[in-house]
Every structure is written in structure tokens, then in C-alpha cells.
């Protein structure tokens, strides 16, 4: 939970338009409250009862300090990058409101609406305070900021915008991706960026093929009947793009891959000898995220997941999780990126019976205890998927904000909904268990975090341009072209810069583009058949043998350096 507390002379707000389908019904569209403390509240994934009580306590504490008996609870999703699901967020603010009503005149702004608001802050030392309340047995309160006349949102946005780590700035400078107002939250991949995206997918395909995964592709649009069967129509419809084509034909744009994987599994008779059956895909998914939560590549409305649905027997659960966690170590280890695990348990709105849920949660706790040790992973109560508990992979961006990347979800429920069966060794029909798993997570988010962690200095194997050949003078163009073509012939992504600019200008331009290797070809290099090599971030090397340089490049690319 994140809150921004503002002591005001007045606040006036007006509900304009429903932002989500689940928006609550309202009696008054417009309200003005004077001499009050406004608590802007962003409920987050994993918030529990301890957070609710501590949030109410903190609001009450500040209300006493500023000597007001009137409080406005204002749902405000824009404070967080990991908002709770709408129903959970609404339940949370309602409970906070009820606690505060015992001691204060309490108002609550309508939930799920686009609202205009106007307020006048009092401007004293306690008039603007920010807090983060972290869930747990003893909810922890962090003082995020205490400043006058400089709202948290503005300062954080400035930090993001101008930080050298900011993936949006890096993406623009390196011409990796862009956005346009006609497709909010949906990136355009430019040629350089598409190379990065495709290389990540190529690596994913190679490593998963070695491990027996079978890739599929499925429709991006399905009739609502599919989503009703899977349970997503009841539990996730408000986050989907829906198309009503008339004549009782309603379609949902694919927001997740699992229902179509169930269709593929059920398309033929399966035997226990076919299991584990690992059906992977990287189809584009679309989710209607609230506009205020969109953040570059880190939260988008269209994305690719390195997805797989692994159909197994119950006695294969632990072994399959171990295999998946080995893939996690491989993928994240290559980039030197640190991560942590989080267990998500049964949510309030769940599908299936509690006994099956308890068994699934116990299995995941046992796996995590063995992998990282008891108490060495996070637990987010009520944060599981509606069909099963999950293990999330968490990473931080350059601002220290936590993002979910990969996820490994254990599902006993959806296979039952689709009546999936396999024939066991005794000839009896059994229902398979499914592990829903992604390693990168959303590839868009993974690339955003990767760019922020390396400041755009992508490893050689991922760099859109791996080598740039620079001419010292026009006399050296032919020799430079020969080297450039030789690099291309060997699969190196090379560019030639033979512009009529100074060599200092060309070098600076190459450095700004964060190219791993710049090769300068002048008269000396041409005469001696050598290279002047400028590795990114290192001292220049002169008299380098071209064959040896090429061999090193190929070796480093093969090793994913």
C-alpha cells in the first residue's frame, strides 16, 4: 500500500466516466469537503489485513497531528506500479474507511471512475507526507518523502525521466522502440529493438527445444465461450479487450495463453507416456491495463510472454518444478541479474475446493524450502492466481521499484473445467495437473529492466549493432567495406560509417549508440592489414589481427557474452 497524505483547506472532486467495468455505483457525482486530511491510497498486490489496519492507523496518526476530524479516503492507483486487482483494491479502501469512521467524519471518493479534482494544500511541514505500508505479521511503514510544495509524483517522474538508467530514454536514444497516442501502452518495435526481442526469443527456443518443449501458436481472438469455460470471463473480463460483433457473437482478445493450451491438449487422446507434455508459445497478448498504470515497457497493454503450459501427473510436480527452476537460473545467470522468489497463496476469489488448494500450496512451500531455504522467500497472502498458487520471480528497476517478471503457477482447476484426461498405466482416465510458467515474464518488461540494469550497454550477443567500422579518410573506404562485408558474411551485425566527418565525431557517435566494438581503418591499418579496435568502455587496441578479432567475436557471441 502506498499513500500520499495531504492536509488541505478543501478538496473538490467529480466523477466523470467509468474507468473500469467494476466501477462502483455512486449516489453523488460531485463532492466538496473542507478542512480535511486527504489520503490518496494505492492498494498493491499482496496487501493483507495487516496493511489495512496499519494504513488506517497511519492516516489517523497524521489526522491527529494536523488536528483535523475529517478524512477523505481517495482511491488513487497512480501511486504504484503493481496495483491490486480492482475488487481487492475496493475491498481494501472500504475497510480502511470503516475503521476511520469510528473516530473521524470520513468521506470516500468513488472507486473505478475517472475523476477531476481540485484541492488547496495548507503548505505546512506536515501538509504533504508519503508512506509505504509493507504487508507482514507486523506491517512495516516506510517514510517515502516529506517535502513541502513538491509532490511525490512529480519528483519521482522527474527522476525517472532524466535518470541515465531510464529505459524509456535509452529506448529513444538507441532507437529501440516508440509509442504513439493512437495505441496507448502498446509499443512499436523499431528495427534495433526487434533484433533484441528476436534474439531473446531465439535463445529461449534453443534452450527449451533441448529440454523437450514443443512450441505452438494459437488464435489471438476467441469466442467468449472459451473464456467462460476457463473461468477468465468471471475473474478477468474487466482486464480484457472485448469485441461484440452482434448476432450474439462476443469475442475476447487473448489476454493469456492457457485456455488455448487446454484446447490443444484436449484435441486428442493422451497417455501417461506423453507426460510431461510441455506446450510453449510466444504469442502476443493484450490486457486492458488502466491508463494511469502504464509505464514505458514495464507495464503495457500488448506484450509477449515466453509461455509454457506443462501437463504432468501429480507425482511429477516436484521434479518438473526443479527442472523449471534450473531454466530460471540459466536465463537470469547469463545476464548477471539478481532476483528473489515470492509465494502467492489462495485469493479470496478462487476456483475449486480448499483441500486441493492446501495441497498445492504445501507442494510449493516444500519446493521453495528445498530450493532457497525456509523463510528465505517472500509470501504474499491471497496473491495466487484464481486457479492455483504460484511462485513469482521478482526484480527491481533502476528506481528500486519491484516488478514481477517470471511466474510458475500450479493449477489443479482449469484442466477440470476443460474436462482434460489422460490414460494412466492401468488404463484409467486421470485429470492432468498443469504448470503455467514464464521465465522472462513479459519480454517487454524484461527488456525494460535489462536496459535499466545495464544502462543500455547490452551484451555483445544482444546488441543490435555489434561492430561499427569507421573510416579515417575517404582513401580507406574500400578497405573498410571489405572488413565490413567479411563481418556480415560471418553473421556479425556490422555497420559501416564512411561519412565525411572527423574520426572523433564518428567515435563519439558510436559510443553514444553503445556499440560494443568500433573499428577504425586508416592508412596504417590498411597497409599492415590490421585493425584499430575500440572496445566499449575499454582502452583502444592497435595492430589487432582481423582473423583473431573475428574468432574472438564469434566465441563471445556463442558464450552469450
Across all residues in the chain, what is the average pLDDT?
89
Residue 432 exposed, middle or buried by CB count within 10 Å (0-12, 13-18, 19+): buried
What structural domains and CATH numbers belong to the chain? 2-161 (3.50.80.10), 197-453 (3.30.930.10), 467-558 (3.40.50.800)
Share of the chain above pLDDT 70, in %: 93
Q: What is the pTM of this model?
A: 0.72
Each residue of 482-514: pLDDT tens digit? 999 999 999 999 999 999 999 999 999 999 999
Q: Give the pLDDT mean for 318-345.
A: 89
Q: Tell me: pLDDT of 240 over 80.
A: yes
Residue 351: pLDDT band by 50, 70, 90 thresholds?
A: confident
Quick check: 154 pLDDT over 60?
no
pLDDT tier at 158, thresholds 50, 70, 90: very low
User: Measuring CA to CA, which residue among 546, 509, 550 is closest to residue 528?
Assistant: 546
pLDDT above 80: residue 312: yes
Indicate whether 147 pLDDT > 50.
no
pLDDT per residue as tens digits for the range 430-472: 999 999 999 998 999 999 999 988 999 999 999 999 999 999 9
Q: How far is residue 312's CA from residue 88's CA, in Å, rounded to a whole number?
A: 32
Place of cell 564512411: 498
Catalytic center residues: 258, 287, 305, 307, 309, 390, 436
pLDDT at 397: 67
What is the 3-class SS of 212-224, one letter each residue? CCEECCCCCEEEH
Q: Over 90: is that where the pLDDT of 413 sits? A: no
Give the CA-trace dihedral at 34, 39, 41, 47, to 10 degrees: -140
| pLDDT tens for each residue of 263-298 | 999 999 999 999 999 999 999 999 988 776 788 998
CA 393 vs CA 132, 157, 276, 492, 534: distances in Å? 21, 26, 23, 33, 37
How high is the pLDDT of residue 442?
92
Q: Higher-confidence residue: 553 or 154?
A: 553
Q: How far apart are CA 218 and CA 212, in angstroms?
A: 19
- What does the block give as the cell for 55? 494504513
The answer to whether residues 2 and 80 touch, using CB atoms and an 8 Å cutoff, is yes
Amino acid at each position: 500500500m502506498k499513500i500520499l497524505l495531504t492536509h488541505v483547506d478543501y478538496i473538490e472532486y467529480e466523477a466523470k466516466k467509468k474507468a473500469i467495468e467494476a466501477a462502483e455505483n455512486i449516489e453523488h457525482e460531485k463532492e466538496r469537503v473542507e478542512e480535511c486530511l486527504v489520503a490518496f491510497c494505492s492498494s498493491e498486490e499482496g496487501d493483507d489485513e495487516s496493511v489495512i489496519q496499519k494504513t488506517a492507523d497511519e492516516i489517523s496518526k497524521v489526522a491527529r497531528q494536523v488536528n483535523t476530524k475529517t478524512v477523505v479516503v481517495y482511491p488513487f492507483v497512480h501511486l504504484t506500479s503493481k496495483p491490486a486487482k480492482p475488487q481487492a483494491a475496493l475491498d481494501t479502501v472500504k475497510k480502511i474507511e470503516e475503521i476511520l469512521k469510528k473516530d473521524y467524519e470520513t468521506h470516500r471518493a468513488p472507486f473505478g471512475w475517472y475523476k477531476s479534482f481540485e484541492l488547496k494544500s495548507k503548505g505546512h511541514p506536515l501538509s504533504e507526507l508519503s508512506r509505504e505500508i509493507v504487508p507482514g505479521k507486523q506491517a512495516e511503514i516506510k517514510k517515502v518523502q516529506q517535502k513541502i510544495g513538491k509532490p511525490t509524483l512529480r519528483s519521482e517522474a522527474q527522476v525517472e525521466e532524466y535518470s541515465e538508467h531510464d529505459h524509456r530514454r535509452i529506448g529513444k536514444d538507441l532507437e529501440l522502440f516508440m509509442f504513439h497516442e493512437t495505441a496507448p501502452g502498446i509499443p512499436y518495435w523499431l528495427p534495433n529493438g526487434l533484433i533484441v526481442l528476436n534474439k531473446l526469443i531465439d535463445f529461449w527456443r534453443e534452450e527449451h527445444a533441448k529440454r523437450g518443449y514443443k512450441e505452438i501458436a494459437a488464435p489471438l481472438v476467441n469466442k467468449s465461450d472459451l473464456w467462460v469455460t476457463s473461468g477468465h470471463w468471471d475473474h478477468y473480463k474487466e482486464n480484457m479487450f472485448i469485441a461484440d460483433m452482434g448476432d450474439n457473437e462476443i469475442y475476447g482478445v487473448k489476454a493469456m495463453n492457457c485456455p488455448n493450451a487446454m484446447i490443444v491438449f484436449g484435441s486428442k487422446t493422451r497417455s501417461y507416456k506423453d507426460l510431461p507434455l510441455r506446450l510453449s508459445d510466444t504469442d502476443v497478448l493484450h490486457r486492458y491495463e488502466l491508463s494511469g498504470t502504464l509505464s514505458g515497457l514495464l507495464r503495457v497493454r500488448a506484450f509477449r510472454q515466453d509461455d509454457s503450459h506443462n501437463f504432468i501427473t501429480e507425482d511429477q510436480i516436484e521434479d518438473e518444478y526443479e527442472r523449471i527452476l534450473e531454466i530460471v537460473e540459466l536465463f537470469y545467470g547469463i545476464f548477471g541479474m539478481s532476483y528473489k522468489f515470492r509465494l502467492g497463496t489462495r485469493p479470496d476469489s478462487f476456483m475449486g475446493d480448499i483441500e486441493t488448494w492446501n495441497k498445492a500450496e504445501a507442494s510449493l512451500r516444500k519446493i521453495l524450502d528445498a530450493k532457497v531455504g525456509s523463510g528465505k522467500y517472500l509470501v504474499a497472502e491471497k496473491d495466487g492466481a484464481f486457479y492455483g498458487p504460484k511462485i513469482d520471480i521478482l526484480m527491481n528497476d533502476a528506481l528500486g521499484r519491484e516488478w514481477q517478471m517470471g511466474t510458475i503457477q500450479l493449477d489443479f482447476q482449469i484442466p477440470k473445467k476443460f474436462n482434460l484426461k489422460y490414460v494412466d498405466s492401468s488404463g484409467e482416465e486421470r485429470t492432468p495437473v498443469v504448470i503455467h510458467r514464464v521465465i522472462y515474464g513479459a519480454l517487454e518488461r524484461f527488456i525494460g529492466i535489462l536496459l535499466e540494469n545495464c544502462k543500455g550497454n547490452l551484451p555483445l550477443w544482444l546488441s543490435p549493432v555489434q561492430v561499427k567500422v569507421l573510416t579515417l579518410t575517404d582513401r580507406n573506404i574500400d578497405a573498410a567495406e571489405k572488413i565490413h562485408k567479411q563481418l556480415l558474411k560471418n553473421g556479425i551485425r556490422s555497420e559501416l560509417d564512411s561519412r565525411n566527418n572527423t574520426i572523433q565525431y564518428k567515435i563519439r557517435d558510436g559510443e553514444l549508440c553503445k556499440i560494443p566494438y568500433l573499428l577504425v581503418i586508416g592508412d596504417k591499418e590498411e597497409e599492415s592489414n590490421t585493425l584499430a579496435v575500440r572496445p566499449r568502455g575499454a582502452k583502444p587496441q592497435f595492430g589487432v589481427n582481423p582473423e583473431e578479432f573475428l574468432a574472438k567475436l564469434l566465441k563471445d557471441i556463442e558464450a552469450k557474452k
